[in-house]
A and B are shown apart, each in its own frame.
Chain A
Amino acid sequence: MNYFMNPDTPEQIGLNDFLTKLPVETEYGRKRKEILVPVGEEGRLILEQSYQEIGKIMEEHDRHPGLIKELRKLIHGQKNIRKSLENSMDEQTLSDVELFEIKKQAFAMERVIGYLDRHKAVRFSSITLHPVKWLIELLDPEATGIETFYVYDEYDPKLKKLRSRKAKVKEQVLAEEKQKEKQVIEKLDVKPLWNKEVHIPKDQPEKQEKLQQMGMYLLANETKSHWIYRPIKHELEETLSGLFGEEEVLEQKIRERLSHCIGEKGEELLQNTEALGYLDILLGKVTVAIKYQCCEPEIIDKPMLRITEGRHPGLEEKLKKEGLRYMPVDIEASKGVTLITGANMGGKTMSLKMTALMVSLAQLGFWVPAKEFSFQPMEYIYFSTGDQQSHELGLSTFGAEVYGLKKVLKVAGKKGMILLDELASGTNPKEGYGISKAIVRHLSQESAISIVTTHYDGIGDLPEIRHLQVVGLRDGHLDEIKDELENVDDPSGVFEKFMDYRLKPKDRNDPVPRDAIRVAELMGLPENILENARGYLAENDREKEE
């Protein structure tokens, strides 16, 4: 079973959006980020370790401001060299470019190790970094500390000798060429070209004769007007090209040796790359924890969930841009059903999304955007938005909802989280009410933590159900709201300003709020329609009482 029963859920609850804001500095981190999976209860220790490590880095960061930035800078831009390491372990010979990358990463690794050694508080056992001094010595034989790579003379005295011979021969070749050139100029009064060719005009055949007598040039080509002569390759040049070949053989042997040395300790180096990726993601988690003012999740042994002053970071950022303040919400839920009712535009859906986001973030080892957060890791999250259609299956809103419910009811006996938004709102209200009530009643007896939002009255009457209600539009502001609504194009901002999104427990005897009519009135639906609406409602209520 997938953790997210609906593949759309990570997108819908804002998890994907959140993860795009998780910064990574290395290719290892990027890769790890792509394959992040929520950890269940069996991984409780891993989760708690992650929470603690985030906390310790934050503490050390408080003592040494700039620590996070510094560490991120140290690992920044590291490429994935795992393939090269694996090749070396397979006794393959690495190229200069591969050796360069390994050397570069060794230097970076050495700096990270040094930094963490100076900050023991964040030298976690989960981050195993094997020493790499030997590797630096291997790839920087001249101990220059420069992060480039070359098959250095120091690798082999033979190479050194060979190269200096090569240089000498080259010098000789050059000297001879110069000599030749000089002779040509002196005897023929023709200057050889930049590419050492001698072009002799055909109207000066005596020059051709002279050149041939010199015995150093061969006719290579001719044009209508010129004979083109090239210098004859002489012995020294043959020697030189032989030296080039020898050099190449020797260099390749050195590469083989270096690759072998690296391959022998390949396993350790691979572990180092793992550690680098882990550290990268961890630093990213700390960064977002600070950015979104997150708290450390607490894992509890009871099937319940408690969010104090929770925030949805996506919505919070959006509101911030519009100059509005986010109103944190408290939610408490446990095994069975928690029902949320309340005003239209009262943020019920957002509360569900926030809950799902927090639980999944916590199971990915993140801190969460709340003041306090305690939970039990779930085996799955089921989130139904109530307005989704299934084009794939060709189902309507209601059809898609039922299809999903059928799936989730099968696993409702397991520890999971079931979030149903506007249950059965896509069909006629009477039947919808019946179905909703029956499902809620069923879920109230199951092990899963279910949170259900609904508009239907009377579902909260069921026993063993916790009922939360959106506080709603704040009284005493109605005229203000009306005024503002008349003066804006987009009414949503106005409601955001005057809506109290908090949830409060609803007592069974509290009256059901009639916010829909109020909202309709505020938004300016004609008075006669509103009056009739109130009339019909009263009629309906009377019928019910009778």
Chain B
Amino acid sequence: MMLRDLIPENCRRIAVVGMAKNAGKTVVLNRLIAEMAGSKEVLGITSTGRDGEEQDLVTLTEKPRIHVPAGTLLGTTEVCLEHGNARVEILETTSEYTPMGQVVLVRVRQAGYIQIAGPDTNKGVLRIARALERNGASKVLVDGAIDRKASASPAITDGCILATGAVLHRDPEVAVEMTRHQVEMFSIPETQDAAVRQQWNRLLERGNVGVVGRNGEMRVIPVASAINNGRDLGNALKKEDRCLLINGSLTAKTVKELTQVTSLYKEIPVIVSDATKVFITEKEWKIWKHMGILLQVIYSVKLLAVAINPLSPEGYEFDKKSFKKKMQQALGEIPVVDAMEEGGLD
């Protein structure tokens, strides 16, 4: 099975995210590029940057090194351009600056290897994706991230491919369970309340936490973030409020504090930007569900496929077939593909 075939026609921006380093994200990217090389699609590629990875500046090790055919459009940084051997035409500079220099839009004139790095905000990535499309890209791949500090690239794309694998845990059962939990996070329902969406956009300008009241009006709660302020959040809720909006990360601690001061969490949903902003373990999630905490997102993530890598760089490996089978059973409808294997359905 071709990975390419798992991407629907109307899905123009695709994020590829890894559950951990070495989960096989680069393999997936390279494979998608190779698969699309023969198609009519003009491919654009960019990445979400990550902060706090200084060693990247020197070794560039964590940025995916990918082989790009001629005609591919890229949004990557000046430093990456200098290190690659693909020959490119500079199309635009973007004024999006990263620790690795400005993000530049280029067209590959002669195929070769290159590393991709991009802006570290959702807004920045969105701008680059749009610029790639303006220059003719029909599909945009975003090398994404779901770690704490990084932006939520899955939320600004139409679809997402999750890379996971043996690197997560020595026990295949645990690796499967961790993946299943992440996939469940991705399926947190999207809010259907138009007024809430409107207030969300206002909140981004006015603060970090807000409560939407019965009539759709918003009260901004004056806290720097939801973290460590769960009590204030809980105390701000009133009966018949519509929801609690959190611009930023939601942690288990915040929810715990909130539930200690009010029981309204059973009626009023907590809404975050997207699933990548929720940081809880599987165990905590189970407790939440049991308690009846209502969680919703503004942007849902459309998970297209899960790519598994049964090899760990630490030297151990899972049995390919049984790992894939277990993963598929745990994920139900979501297609599971062996990143290294060409035939996903053997």
Contact = CB atoms under 8 A, between A and B. Distances in A.
Interface of A: 79, 95-97, 99-101, 148-151, 163, 166-167, 170, 191, 193-195, 199, 223-226, 244, 247-248, 251
Given A150-B90, A191-B342, A224-B317, A97 B311 contact: no
Contacts of A244: 85, 112
Interface in B316-345: 317, 319-321, 340-343
Interface stretch (B29-37, B152-160, B246-254, B300-308): B29-37
B87 A247 contact: yes
Nearest to B102: A97
Contacts of A199: 340-341
A153 B125 CA distance: 33
Nearest to B30: A195
Residue of B85, B104, B340, B341 ringed by the most chain A CB atoms within 10 A: B340
B184 interface: no
Contacts of A100: 90, 93
A97 B109 contact: no
9 contacts: A79-B95, A96-B81, A97-B81, A97-B93, A148-B90, A148-B91, A150-B87, A150-B109, A223-B311
Given A95-B82, A100-B93, A195 B34 contact: yes
B93 A79 contact: yes
A199 B310 CA distance: 14
Nearest to A96: B90
B78 interface: yes
B89 A225 contact: no
Contacts of B341: 193, 199
Interface in B71-108: 78, 81-82, 85, 87-93, 95, 102, 104, 107
Given A163-B110, A224-B319, A248 B34 contact: no
Contacts of A248: 85
A37 to B, nearest CB: 28
A149 B104 CA distance: 12
Closest 9 pairs between A and B when the two form their complex, measured CB to CB: A150-B89, A100-B90, A149-B90, A194-B34, A148-B91, A193-B342, A148-B89, A194-B31, A223-B317
Interface string B34-46: 1100000000000
A251 B89 CA distance: 13
B77 to A, nearest CB: 10
A76 to B, nearest CB: 13
B110 A166 contact: yes
Contacts, number: 65
Contacts of A170: 111
Interface in B13-30: 27, 30
Interface of B: 27, 30-31, 34-35, 78, 81-82, 85, 87-93, 95, 102, 104, 107, 109-112, 310-311, 317, 319-321, 340-343
Contacts of B311: 223
A150 B88 contact: yes
Given A97-B104, A101-B93, A195 B319 contact: no
A167 B102 CA distance: 30
A393 B341 CA distance: 75
Residue among B88, B90, B341, B343 facing the most chain A CB atoms (10 A cut-off): B90
B78 to A, nearest CB: 5
Given A101-B93, A226-B320, A251-B87, 6 more contacts: A96-B81, A148-B90, A150-B90, A150-B109, A199-B341, A224-B319
A271 to B, nearest CB: 23
Contacts of A193: 340-342
Nearest to A251: B87
Contacts of B343: 191
Nearest to B111: A170
Given A95-B82, A193-B341, A244-B112, A225 B93 contact: no
A100 B90 CA distance: 7
Nearest to A191: B342
B90 A97 contact: yes
A193 B30 CA distance: 12
A276 to B, nearest CB: 17
A493 B119 CA distance: 49
Contacts of A195: 27, 30-31, 34
Contacts of A149: 89-90
A375 to B, nearest CB: 41
A247 B343 CA distance: 38
Interface centre among B30, B78, B342 (most CB of A within 10 A): B342
Contacts of B340: 193, 199
A134 to B, nearest CB: 21
B335 to A, nearest CB: 17
Nearest to B34: A194
Contacts of B81: 96-97
A417 to B, nearest CB: 41
A95 B79 CA distance: 11
Contacts of A150: 87-90, 109
A395 to B, nearest CB: 34
Nearest to A197: B340
A226 B342 CA distance: 14
B93 A95 contact: no
A225 B311 CA distance: 12
Contacts of B89: 148-150
Contacts of A166: 110
A148 B135 CA distance: 12
A108 B85 CA distance: 31
Contacts of A163: 110
A150 B112 CA distance: 15
Nearest to B135: A148
Contacts of A194: 30-31, 34-35, 342
A247 B109 CA distance: 13
A248 B81 CA distance: 13
B98 to A, nearest CB: 14
A232 B170 CA distance: 33
Nearest to B27: A195
A498 B100 CA distance: 62
A166 B86 CA distance: 13
A133 B104 CA distance: 26
